[in-house]
């Protein structure tokens, strides 16, 4: 290669999400008066649910679509999973339900987008409303004992034998690393492999880059679209499972509220193009973790938590501003 | 005095020089043909001139002004207008709105003065002898009218230099003549033109002088009347080009492709038998059905009746995947839209199609794929530095070779090539013809759809001429010539 760019600057351009994360992390280190292992590991723990959802969102964005329903889907899936757990008392059955129900939600989104060819924004906006409403309605409509006796919250019954094991899974640690954080890491590794080294992954990028061209190479775009939405749904299923393991309950009014927005923000911060075809799976992990660290900084500075979203929004604009305006500025300076 | 003097212009992209000390001198009131293969640097030079790309070195003097830092806006203000190959019009707006966009006449209260704009537009069209209604919506215009509108638009704002990038690709002969008449008139009034085209006859018809580029270097300039098309071609392609006949007869096998009463959108009742190793040319006027037939055979559109059998087995309708499984491949027309996966590398662009057939083997063995790429790179002589380069970094001809590799990689026996040399320069065209013949010799069966009859003449064993969705005549190799084909494709034989 006779490329003029130095390896370092090319690396920085491709992995800008690491710089963002490191910068935010340093601020965190300064503001929190000394880092503890615990503090760092907590970042993992609190990134798990949003991180896994964001990976699914990332896949959807890579084919050039969007899924606004993931937050509501989390509320519905986790709520129903609590009911299933209360009925069955089995962790395994609950896990399988979470995955299957997430997949079902994904199929609905995917079929409407892929085969009926409705715009993803509209379809998932509608299912976002539907899922949230169902989650809240059924919480009131079903017999009280199924949702753990709570009035407006799905609560796991703590007298079930496996309750301690389940809750322990959500809050336990292996060698001081939170188990849910490990799940996140495993999924990131899995999807990094999927997107970089498999035929399936390359098809995802191809569709996002040029739908017509992709279909002319024999790719079944409709089926791939459904598959990707199902993957996003299944990952919401995984998140639902982690959510109830961590919290032992799910409040249909607040669980996953605005998570679709945080997921999209993580995806964008991670360097994935919203029009599809470009970006790295690893970026999403760093994008999601960056946002978790921002939360921690706000806590450390004892700021009002209501200012939280404003700061997250500003950082998103700032980072994208640097990414877009940076090269233009550099170009101008070079040709002065 | 020269209207434009560009001297010692240098430009590099990512360290790769694309313009090396080139010069271009344009006189007032001349039509200057800018010639060169794809990737020779013509577009880059025009982009430098119009301020799209900053130059790395060299000087530009336009109309007595030395231009240091050019922006798109500044070049427009100075009177340089670039009429792109892809038209930049707003389809949802009317003709006059398109002309005046951003420069609307307004009355005292800032309200658009529609009456005045329409009147001015009508005057302009009258002056140019263009018959377009200023109040018509642009989407209702014919392609040729849109082309003329683009040119008129540039002239309205007193362009001194018009750059026409392949202005005739979508025009028929009559429309081309009309365009040339307009150019001649404007020339008399002192407007200069830079005319970029691959069509040699047109260049000799309209241009006064020429400049030839090759590989980013200035090769020659001179008067058109002192040169010949043959000389021009050899200047463009260098020593590599030989115009000698490449066609040869070769043994053919049994029938591998059979269409029986095959009907679909845009064509009907096609009966065709193709033997293994044959090259069949399909042609006809635009919309006669040959391209539509190919798309349908590949499953991109749904057939309406009849059957297509490959090696005796019927292929299901409307499934690209099934067609590929039967061993059919299609190099689609409109490369940018149908073939280029812009965000992916050469390697990825190559292996994508094969992967839809071998999707069960989930993992990509990168080294194995690299080896295959190297094989095709050598076989098709693809000019590329690394398999990880972006597909967009290649010229049109090389891109097309990558897509040919994409389909060869699927081991298809039947290759449908839809307009394979579209937007490809002379040298690369000759290479592609040679490749097609070589592939046929190795036992591939090839159908090639093109509107360029000399192309069919060079390579096809038979030529099926389409008229109004049907095959009107199948010509043998010896019978193929422009006149005969035109006779059948306009259905003049049945008048």
How many angstroms separate the CA atoms of B395 and B402, rounded? 11
Written as six digits, the tokens of B238 are: 């260098």
DSSP string, B418-468: ESTTTT--HHHHHHHHHHHHHHHHTT-EEEEE-S-HHHHHHH-SEEEEEET
User: Which residues lie across from B267 on neighbouring strands?
Assistant: B264
Q: How many contacts does A have with B, using Cβ atoms within 8 A?
A: 95
Alpha carbon of residue A151 to chain centroid: 29
User: Mind telling me how many Å the CA of B289 is from chain A's nearest CA?
Assistant: 19
**Domain edges within chain B:** 2-239, 255-494
User: Which residues lie across from B282 on neighbouring strands?
Assistant: B449, B464
pLDDT category at A149 given cuts 50, 70, 90 is confident
Select the residue from B69, B355, B400 to test the A interface by mutation, using most A Cβ atoms within 10 A: B355
In angstroms, the Cα distances linking B346 to A188, A205, B317, B375, B429 are 27, 14, 31, 13, 20
Q: Who contacts A22 (Cβ-Cβ below 8 Å, separation ≥6)?
A: none
With contacts defined as CB-CB under 8 Å, which chain A residues touch B361?
199
Q: Is B342 on the interface with A (CB under 8 A)?
A: yes
How many angstroms separate the CA atoms of A133 and A263, rounded? 21
In this predicted model, which residue has the larger pLDDT, A234 or A27?
A234
A10, closest residue in chain B (CA to CA): B14
Written as six digits, the tokens of A209 are: 């880059």
Look at A203 and B355 and tell me if their CB atoms are within 8 Å. yes
What's chain A's average pLDDT? Answer: 91
Written as six digits, the tokens of A244 are: 């109830």
Give the CATH class of B2-239. Answer: alpha beta
Closest CA to B279 of B302, B246, B309, B320: B246
Looking at beta carbons, which pairs linking A163-172 to residues 24 or more positions away fall under 8 Å?
A163/A248, A165/A91, A166/A85, A166/A91, A166/A94, A166/A244, A166/A245, A166/A248, A167/A245, A167/A248, A169/A91, A169/A245, A170/A242, A170/A244, A170/A245, A170/A246, A170/A247, A170/A248, A171/A245, A171/A246
In this predicted structure, the answer to whether residue A2 has a pLDDT above a threshold of 60 is no
pLDDT category at A336 given cuts 50, 70, 90 is low
Q: Point out the least confidently predicted range of A95-99, A198-202, A254-258, B164-168.
A: B164-168
Torsion of CA B279, B283, B289, B290, to 10 degrees: 20
Closest CA to A138 of A73, A79, A69, A74: A79
User: For A218-234, how does the pLDDT look when each residue is reduced to its tens digit (9 = 90+)?
Assistant: 999 999 999 999 999 99
Mean pLDDT value of segment A204-211: 96
Measured over the CA atoms of residue B235, residue B237, residue B239 and residue B241, the dihedral's sign is: negative
With contacts defined as CB-CB under 8 Å, which chain B residues touch A204?
none
Pairing of strands B414-418, B267-275: unpaired
Nearest-CB residue to A209 (from B332, B343, B359)? B343
B59 phi and psi, to 5 degrees? -125, 145
Q: How many C-beta neighbours within 10 Å does residue B209 have? A: 18
Q: Do domains B2-239 and B255-494 have the same CATH topology?
A: yes
In angstroms, the Cα distances linking B143 to B114, B147, B247, B489 are 25, 6, 35, 22
Nearest-CB residue to A199 (from B321, B359, B386)? B359
Look at B348 and A278 and tell me if their CB atoms are within 8 Å. no
In this predicted model, which residue has the larger pLDDT, B285 or A298?
A298
DSSP string, B117-145: HHHHHHHHHHHHT----TTSBGGGS-HHH
In the three-class reduction of DSSP (H, G, I as helix; E, B as strand; rest coil), residue A150 is classed as coil
User: For A46-86, how does the pLDDT look when each residue is reduced to its tens digit (9 = 90+)?
Assistant: 999 999 999 999 999 999 999 999 999 999 999 999 999 99
Look at A218 and B340 and tell me if their CB atoms are within 8 Å. no
Helix, strand and coil in chain B, % to nearest 5: 40, 25, 35
Look at A216 and B330 and tell me if their CB atoms are within 8 Å. yes
B349 phi and psi, to 5 degrees? -65, -35
Look at B15 and A3 and tell me if their CB atoms are within 8 Å. yes
Q: Is B201 on the interface with A (CB under 8 A)?
A: no
Q: Who contacts A209 (Cβ-Cβ below 8 Å, separation ≥6)?
A: A276, A277, A278, B341, B342, B343, B344
How many angstroms separate the CA atoms of A250 and A104, rounded? 20
Side-chain half-sphere of A40: how many Cα atoms within 13 Å?
11
Give the CATH class of B255-494. Answer: alpha beta
How many angstroms separate the CA atoms of A199 and B208, rounded? 54
> Could you say which of 1.25.40, 1.10.1660, 1.10.3470, 1.10.1740 is the CATH number of the domain covering A19-25+37-327?
1.10.3470
How many angstroms separate the CA atoms of B387 and A187, rounded? 30
- The answer to whether A36 touches A304, Cβ cutoff 8 Å, is no
Look at B385 and A198 and tell me if their CB atoms are within 8 Å. no
The confidence score (pLDDT) of residue B248 equals 82
Which residue's structure tokens are 């010539």? Answer: B481
How many angstroms separate the CA atoms of A39 and A299, rounded? 12
Question: In a 10 Å sphere around its CB, with 0-12 CB exposed, 13-18 middle and 19+ buried, how is residue A174 labelled?
Answer: exposed
Q: How many C-beta neighbours within 10 Å does residue A104 have? A: 14
Q: Is B356 on the interface with A (CB under 8 A)?
A: yes
In the three-class reduction of DSSP (H, G, I as helix; E, B as strand; rest coil), residue B269 is classed as strand
Q: Which residues of chain B have pLDDT under 50?
A: 240-243
The confidence score (pLDDT) of residue B353 equals 95
How many angstroms separate the CA atoms of A235 and A241, rounded? 10
The confidence score (pLDDT) of residue B344 equals 94
How many angstroms separate the CA atoms of B438 and B332, rounded? 20
In this predicted structure, the answer to whether residue A3 has a pLDDT above a threshold of 60 is no
In the three-class reduction of DSSP (H, G, I as helix; E, B as strand; rest coil), residue A236 is classed as helix
The confidence score (pLDDT) of residue A329 equals 82
Instruction: Please report the residues numbered 69 through 88 in chain B whose beta carbons come closer than 8 angstroms to any beta carbon of chain A.
Output: 69
Side-chain half-sphere of B443: how many Cα atoms within 13 Å?
6
The confidence score (pLDDT) of residue B241 equals 46
With contacts defined as CB-CB under 8 Å, which chain B residues touch A197?
363-364, 366
How many angstroms separate the CA atoms of A210 and B403, rounded? 15
How many angstroms separate the CA atoms of B233 and B245, rounded? 16
Alpha carbon of residue A5 to chain centroid: 33
B416 phi and psi, to 5 degrees? -100, 115
User: Mind telling me how many Å the CA of A122 is from chain B's nearest CA?
Assistant: 24
User: For B77-125, how does the pLDDT look when each residue is reduced to its tens digit (9 = 90+)?
Assistant: 889 998 887 778 898 999 999 988 888 888 888 888 899 999 999 998 9
How many angstroms separate the CA atoms of B174 and A48, rounded? 67
Read off the pTM. 0.80
User: Mind telling me how many Å the CA of A18 is from chain B's nearest CA?
Assistant: 22
User: For A86-124, how does the pLDDT look when each residue is reduced to its tens digit (9 = 90+)?
Assistant: 999 999 999 999 999 999 999 999 999 999 999 999 999
A74 phi and psi, to 5 degrees? -60, -45
Written as six digits, the tokens of A21 are: 């994360």
Written as six digits, the tokens of B171 are: 């025009």
Look at B332 and A216 and tell me if their CB atoms are within 8 Å. yes
- The answer to whether B155 touches B143, Cβ cutoff 8 Å, is no
């Amino acid at each position: 290669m006779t490329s003029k760019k130095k390896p370092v600057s090319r690396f920085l351009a491709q992995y800008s999400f690491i710089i963002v994360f490191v910068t935010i992390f340093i601020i965190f280190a300064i503001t929190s008066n000394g880092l503890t292992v615990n503090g760092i590991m907590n970042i993992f723990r609190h990134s798990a649910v949003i991180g896994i959802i964001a990976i699914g969102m990332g896949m959807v964005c890579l084919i050039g679509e969007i899924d606004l329903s993931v937050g509501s889907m989390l509320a519905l899936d986790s709520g129903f999973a609590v009911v299933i757990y209360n009925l069955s008392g089995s962790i395994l059955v609950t896990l399988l339900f979470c995955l299957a129900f997430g997949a079902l939600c994904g199929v609905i989104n995917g079929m409407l987008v892929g085969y009926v060819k409705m715009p993803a924004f509209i379809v998932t906006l509608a299912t976002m409303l539907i899922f949230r409403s169902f989650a809240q309605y059924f919480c009131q409509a079903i017999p009280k004992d199924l949702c753990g006796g709570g009035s407006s919250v799905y609560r796991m019954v703590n007298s079930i034998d496996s309750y301690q094991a389940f809750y322990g899974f959500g809050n336990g640690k292996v060698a001081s690393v939170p188990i849910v954080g490990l799940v996140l890491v495993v999924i990131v590794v899995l999807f990094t492999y999927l997107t970089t080294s498999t035929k399936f992954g390359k098809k995802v990028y191809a569709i996002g880059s040029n739908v017509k061209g992709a279909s002319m190479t024999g790719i079944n775009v409709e089926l791939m679209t459904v598959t990707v939405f199902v993957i996003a749904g299944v990952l919401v299923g995984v998140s639902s499972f982690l959510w109830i393991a961590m919290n032992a309950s799910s409040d249909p009014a607040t669980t996953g509220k605005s998570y679709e927005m945080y997921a999209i923000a993580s995806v964008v911060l991670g360097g994935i193009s919203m029009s599809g075809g470009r970006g790295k799976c690893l970026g999403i992990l760093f994008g999601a973790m960056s946002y978790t660290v921002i939360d921690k900084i706000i806590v450390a500075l004892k700021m009002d938590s209501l200012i939280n979203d404003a700061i997250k929004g500003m950082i998103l604009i700032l980072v994208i501003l640097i990414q877009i305006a940076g090269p233009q500025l550099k170009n101008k300076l070079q040709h002065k | 005095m020269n209207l434009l003097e560009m001297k010692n212009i240098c430009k590099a992209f990512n360290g790769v020089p694309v313009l090396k000390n080139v010069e271009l001198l344009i006189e007032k009131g001349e039509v200057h043909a800018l010639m060169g293969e794809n990737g020779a640097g013509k577009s880059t030079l025009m982009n430098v001139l119009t301020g799209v790309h900053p130059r790395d070195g060299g000087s530009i003097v336009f109309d007595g002004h030395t231009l240091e830092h050019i922006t798109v806006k500044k070049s427009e203000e100075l009177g340089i207008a670039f009429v792109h190959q892809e038209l930049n019009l707003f389809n949802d707006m009317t003709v006059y709105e398109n002309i005046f966009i951003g420069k609307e006449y307004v009355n005292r209260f800032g309200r658009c003065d529609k009456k005045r704009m329409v009147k001015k537009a009508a005057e302009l069209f009258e002056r140019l002898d263009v018959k377009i209604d200023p109040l018509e919506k642009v989407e209702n215009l014919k392609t040729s009218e849109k082309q003329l509108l683009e040119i008129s638009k540039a002239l309205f704002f007193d362009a001194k230099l018009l750059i026409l990038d392949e202005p005739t690709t979508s025009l028929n002969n009559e429309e081309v003549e009309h365009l040339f008449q307009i150019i001649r008139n404007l020339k008399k009034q002192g407007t200069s033109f830079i005319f970029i085209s691959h069509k040699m006859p047109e260049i000799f018809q309209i241009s006064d002088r020429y400049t030839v580029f090759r590989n980013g270097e200035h090769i020659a300039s001179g008067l058109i009347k002192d040169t010949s098309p043959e000389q021009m071609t050899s200047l463009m392609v260098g020593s590599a080009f030989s115009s000698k006949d490449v066609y040869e007869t070769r043994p053919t096998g049994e029938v591998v492709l059979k269409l029986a009463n095959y009907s679909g959108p845009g064509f009907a009742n096609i009966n065709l038998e193709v033997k293994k190793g044959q090259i069949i040319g399909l042609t006809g006027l635009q919309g006669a059905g040959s391209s539509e037939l190919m798309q349908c055979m590949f499953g991109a559109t749904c057939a309406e009746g009849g059957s297509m059998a490959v090696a005796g087995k019927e292929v299901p309708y409307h499934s690209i995947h099934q067609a590929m499984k039967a061993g059919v491949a299609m190099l689609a027309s409109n490369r940018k839209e149908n073939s280029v996966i812009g965000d992916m590398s050469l390697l990825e662009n190559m292996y994508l199609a094969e992967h839809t057939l071998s999707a069960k083997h989930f993992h990509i063995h990168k080294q194995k794929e690299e080896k295959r790429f190297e094989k095709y790179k050598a076989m098709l002589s693809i000019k590329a530095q690394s398999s990880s380069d972006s597909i967009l970094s290649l010229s049109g001809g090389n891109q097309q070779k990558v897509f040919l590799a994409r389909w060869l990689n699927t081991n298809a026996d039947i290759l449908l090539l839809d307009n394979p040399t579209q937007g490809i320069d002379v040298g690369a065209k000759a290479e592609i013809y040679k490749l097609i013949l070589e592939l046929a010799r190795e036992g591939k069966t090839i159908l090639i759809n093109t509107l360029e009859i000399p192309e069919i003449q060079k390579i096809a064993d038979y030529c099926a001429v389409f008229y109004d969705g049907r095959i009107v005549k199948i010509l043998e190799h010896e019978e193929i010539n422009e006149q005969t084909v035109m006779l059948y494709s306009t259905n003049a034989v049945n008048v």
